[in-house]
Amino acid sequence: MRLFVAVLPPERVVAELDGRVDDLKRLPDAGALRWTERAGWHLTLAFLGEVDDAVVADLGARLGRAAWRTAPFALALRGGGRFGDRALWAGVAGEAAALRLLAERVSAAGRRAGAGPGVDAGRGFHPHLTLARGRGEVGLRPFVEGLGGFSGAEWEVGELVLVRSHLPRAGLQGARPRYEPLSTWPLRT
Ligand code: 3AM
């Protein structure tokens, strides 16, 4: 199954961001972008790719230990950015170093469990919450500008989540992946 590990913002933070995204959707060319569904909004810690069913139990045990070694920390969504003209995202503020450390621990847990070693290699960790994807023909700069000054409420990250990604059938125009949270583990309390 196709898996990734993420931090999920709480509903009040999602609702705030959704208000700003509503404004972005009124900008010219917004209709040409594929907007992510708010129900699936997440901050990816590590993408694991296709993982063997046989490995999932060990992976879970390791993710639980990674969470347990990490103290809860404060995070907020702030501003935005883009990966070329392919992805528009909201950025983070707060204890970003703690988020990075958690991402490293989660990646190590994945590697040790034999779950998709090397899939993340080369991309590095760039904390972001993906809001829309484009094919490169729509310039994302105005959308990034539209996120300027956005500053969401701070929350305490208290758990990590293993998420299964169900890809849409090839050729289904406009279809988006469906994200299914499988398990959560609390950070050390
Ligand atoms: O939703 P975000 O942007 O955080 O881009 C994919 C998405 O990230 C990323 O994993 C998340 C869940 O699908 N992803 C997909 N394929 C990837 C790959 N080969 C990947 N990340 C790294 N390597």
What does the pLDDT read at residue 39? 96
The answer to whether the CB of 47 is under 6 A from ligand 1 is yes
Q: Please state the separation of Cα 130 from the chain's center in Å.
A: 7
**Nearest C-alpha to atom 9 of ligand 1 is from which residue?**
47
Q: Is the pLDDT of residue 121 over 90?
A: no
- Asked if 166 is an active-site residue, the reply is no
Q: What is the pLDDT of residues 18-42, one digit of tens each?
A: 999 999 999 999 999 999 999 999 9
Q: Give mean pLDDT, residues 117-121.
A: 51
Q: Distance from CA of residue 19 to its chain's centroid?
A: 19
CA–CA distance, 96 with 73 (Å, rounded to integer):
9
Q: Residues 62-95: pLDDT tens digits?
A: 999 999 999 999 999 999 999 999 999 999 999 9
Residue 189 Cα to ligand 1 middle (Å): 29
What are the tens digits of pLDDT across the range 143-164? 999 999 999 999 999 999 999 9
C-alpha 24/C-alpha 8 separation (Å) is 22
Ligand 1 center to residue 47 CA distance, Å? 6
What angle, 0 to 180 degrees and rounded to 10, lies between the N-to-C axes of helices 96-113 and 56-68?
150
Report how far ligand 1's centroid is from the alpha carbon of 38 (Å): 16
In the prediction, which pLDDT does 2 show?
Answer: 96
pLDDT digits (tens, 9 = 90+) for 89-100: 999 999 999 999
Nearest atom in ligand 1 to the alpha carbon of residue 44 is: 4
Average pLDDT of span 102-130: 84
Could you say which of 3.90.1140.10, 1.10.150.120, 2.40.37.10, 3.40.309.10 is the CATH number of the domain covering 2-169+181-186?
3.90.1140.10
- 126 as an active site residue: the answer is no
Is residue 134's pLDDT more than 80? yes
Taking residues 169-173, report their average pLDDT. 78
Contact 133, 36 (CB under 8 A): yes
Q: Which helix or strand (DSSP H or E) is residue 87 part of?
A: strand 87-94
pLDDT of residue 116: 64
Domain boundaries, the chain: 2-169+181-186
Kindly tell me if the per-residue pLDDT of 120 is higher than 60: no
Rg (the chain; Cα; Å): 17
Q: Which of 6, 88, 128, 179 is flagged as catalytic?
A: 128
pLDDT band at 170 (very low <50, low <70, confident <90, very high): confident
Quick count: other Cβ atoms within 10 Å of Cβ 173? 6
Q: Indicate if the pLDDT at residue 118 is higher than 70.
A: no
Structure tokens at 47: 């993408």
The pLDDT value given to residue 183:
98
